[in-house]
């Protein structure tokens, strides 16, 4: 009886020893990478498989991210994975060593931002290497009818499509998940047929188109009072020539004209194969208003009369004041042509005399 009990005890010890070895080895063999924060602390582990990866945090939370190759960084330096429950995309460095990026699709404007952790292989592990062939292999065919491998994404203002590439690896070309198109869409969604490449402006500049030939404008005074015409040029602030035009008189001026500007935008588009294609777009910008005309009419403010009789002139002095008539602008660019302008009639027709300060004579 004692021999039997001894054998049973030895068997039990052996089984417990084997079981303890299994418990000790399991966490290490199941995890392929570890997550490390900015202070070097291990915050969790990553278990990798052909279908995707499982993130195991130190808190005990586990999240499975299925492989989502359409979120790969063009060129394959970063690989994309998607979690339906969290509606989140994460990107891991293909090497299995480096910072992690994430994008939450529930936000109004989803974009990739650096995560708070980096990853590295555990010990001498190979990281993602054993799974890269399966992850990067071309798709064998369209997904089964009624089951799309990735969520259909609706861009702002557009229809549903399987989300495509993004601009410069930062801004996603995706919007919120469509409530009517999900993982169980009744219609098959091709992996590539509806992808819309996203373009990014990588350079923008504005170039002057030069000058048009100058024009000659004749300012006419058809009023019965002397006019003071002030011409302002937006190209040369502070340079405001004034012209005194007597009743029935005129003044000729020669005015340069602008041809406008052109905005040149250089776009970069990532095509469906991940190639960067650049194209240039030119948008004409109409010339802006350059000249403004301000008109005053001169009126008698006061008269100095000699009451002593000692002066040879009874009226010794007459003070004049410029009263605002109005202001108007000249057409820009090629809309300004040579010709005559009745400055009093045009300024009065603008109906804005209150915008013109009076000209007060200095003592």
Give residue-wise pLDDT tens across range 314-336.
655 667 788 999 999 999 999 99
| Beta strand ranges found along 159-210 (DSSP E) | 161-162, 199-208
pLDDT at 241: 94
Maximum average pLDDT range among 68-72, 140-144, 215-219, 316-320: 215-219
- The runs of H, that is alpha helices, within 127-196 are 132-136
Average pLDDT over residues 103-123: 84
What is the pLDDT, as a whole number, of residue 175?
35
pLDDT(184) > 80 = no
pLDDT grade for 103, boundaries at 50, 70 and 90: confident
Which CATH code for domain 211-257+288-355?
2.60.40
- Straight-line distance from the first to the last Cα atom of the chain, in angstroms, rounded to the nearest whole number: 136
pLDDT at 176 over 60: no
Residues 149-175 pLDDT 10s:
444 433 333 333 333 333 333 334 333
Task: Give pLDDT tens digits for 269-285.
Answer: 776 666 778 888 898 99
* Cα–Cα distance measured from residue 89 to residue 170, given in angstroms and rounded to the nearest whole number: 13
Q: What integer pLDDT is reported at residue 104 of this predicted model?
A: 86
Q: How many CB atoms lie within 10 A of CB 12?
A: 10
Mean pLDDT over each residue of the chain, to the nearest integer: 76
Q: What is the DSSP string of 60-129?
A: S-EEEEEE-GGGSPTTSSEEEEEETTTTEEEEEETTS-EEEEEEETTSSS-B-EEEEEEEEESTT--TTG
Q: Say yes or no to pLDDT of 251 above 90.
A: yes
pLDDT at 246: 96
For position 56, what pLDDT does the model report?
92
Q: What is the pLDDT of residues 337-363, one digit of tens each?
A: 999 999 999 999 999 999 999 887 665
Question: Does the reported pTM lie above 0.85?
Answer: no
Higher per-residue pLDDT: 154 or 72: 72
In the chain, what are the helix, strand and coil shares in percent, each to the nearest 5? 15, 45, 45
Domain(s) of CATH 2.60.40: residues in the chain: 211-257+288-355
In whole angstroms, how far apart are CA 266 and each of 199, 304, 312? 10, 70, 79
Question: How far does CA 293 lie from the centroid of its chain?
Answer: 39
């Amino acid at each position: 009886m004692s021999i039997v009990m001894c054998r049973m005890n030895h068997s039990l010890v052996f089984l417990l020893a084997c079981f303890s070895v299994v418990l000790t080895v399991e966490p290490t063999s199941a995890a392929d990478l570890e997550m490390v924060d900015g202070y070097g602390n291990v915050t969790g582990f990553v278990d990798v498989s052909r279908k995707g990866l499982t993130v195991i945090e130190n808190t005990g939370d586990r999240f499975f991210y299925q492989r989502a190759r359409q979120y790969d960084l063009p060129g394959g330096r970063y690989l994309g994975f998607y979690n339906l429950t969290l509606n989140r995309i994460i990107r891991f460095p293909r090497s299995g060593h480096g910072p992690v990026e994430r994008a939450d699709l529930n936000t109004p404007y989803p974009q990739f931002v650096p995560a708070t952790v980096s990853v590295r292989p555990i010990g001498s592990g190979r990281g993602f290497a054993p799974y890269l062939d399966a992850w990067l292999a071309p798709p064998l065919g369209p997904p089964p009818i009624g089951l799309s491998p990735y969520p259909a994404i609706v861009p702002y203002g557009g229809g549903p499509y399987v989300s495509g590439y993004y601009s410069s690896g930062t801004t996603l070309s995706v919007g919120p998940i469509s409530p009517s198109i999900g993982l169980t869409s009744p219609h098959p969604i091709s992996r590539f047929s509806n992808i819309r490449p996203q373009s990014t402006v990588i350079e923008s500049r504005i170039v002057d188109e030069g000058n048009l030939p100058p024009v000659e404008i004749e300012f006419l005074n058809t009023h019965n009072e002397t006019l003071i015409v002030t011409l302002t040029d937006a190209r040369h602030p502070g340079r405001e020539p004034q012209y005194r035009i007597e009743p029935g008189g005129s003044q000729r001026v020669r005015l340069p004209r602008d041809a406008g500007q052109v905005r040149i935008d250089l776009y970069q588009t990532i095509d469906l194969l991940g190639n960067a294609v650049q194209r240039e777009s030119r948008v004409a910008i109409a010339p802006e208003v350059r000249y403004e005309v301000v008109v005053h009419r001169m009126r008698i403010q006061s008269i100095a009369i000699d009451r002593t009789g000692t002066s040879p002139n009874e009226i010794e002095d007459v003070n004049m004041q410029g009263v605002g008539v109005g202001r108007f602008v000249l057409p820009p660019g090629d809309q300004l042509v040579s010709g005559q302008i009745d400055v009093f009639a045009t300024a009065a027709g603008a109906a804005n005399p209150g915008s013109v300060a009076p000209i007060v004579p200095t003592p």
